[in-house]
Structure formats: C-alpha cells, structure tokens
Amino acid sequence: MTSIDKFIEAVQKHQFVEAHELLEDDWKEYKKIGLKDHARILKGLINGTTAIALFVKGRPPQCEKIWAVFNKYMPLLDTTNLENKQRFIDAKVLLEKKFKEVVKM
C-alpha cells in the first residue's frame, strides 16, 4: 500500500494527525530532489489534514489560515505529472468533503 493510500485511509477514519505524518517523508524527498510542485501538492494535503485537526482541537482561526495553504496548492494537481495522480486527486476531494463535514458543521 502506498503512502497516499494510507493517507486516504487515515482521513476516512478521521485520523487527521496520523494522516499528516504519512506524507511527511515523501514531501521531504520531493523537496530534496527538487520536485517543487510535487512537494507543494503534498504540503497542501498535509496542511489540509492539519487544518481539520486544529478545528477539532478547538482552534478555528488557525484552521482557516492553514486551510488556505491547501487551497493554494491543490490547483497544481492539474499541471503536475504525479505517479498515481488519481489517488492524489481522490485525497483532495476527500479532504474537501471532510472539511465540510467537520469544520462547517
């Protein structure tokens, strides 16, 4: 199972902090090898889970600020050639759904 699959599974289970950690190594590796847009997409997904986790912990102002990073980087999915790209798109859609469920209750 790939890290993006594990990430999606964790988000489905509302394990937002854990999901954040699942993409950290890939994000660092993309940064290290100079794949900036790949890294930014992962940063967006990581920040998406962080935003939801902050809301759940009672910190809505920080949630909105960090969710903006998610929104900033997700358009890169349209122009970046990622392996398993559809799974990253699935993760984006899932996070948007969970954000609405959890934050916009």
Question: Which tens digit of pLDDT belongs to each residue from 70-96?
Answer: 999 999 999 999 999 999 999 999 999
Does residue 103 sit within a domain? no
- Structural domain count of the chain: 1
Q: What is the pLDDT of residue 98?
A: 94
Residue among 76, 54, 56, 77 at smallest CA distance from 65:
54
Does residue 64 sit within a domain? yes
Q: What is the pLDDT of residue 103?
A: 81
Is the pLDDT score of 26 beyond 70? yes
Does residue 93 sit within a domain? yes
Does residue 43 sit within a domain? yes
Residue among 91, 38, 88, 48 at smallest CA distance from 71:
48
Residue 2 tokens read as: 């790939």
Q: The domain containing residue 56 runs over which residues?
A: 3-98
Does residue 105 sit within a domain? no
CB 22 within 8 A of CB 7: yes
The reported pTM is 0.94
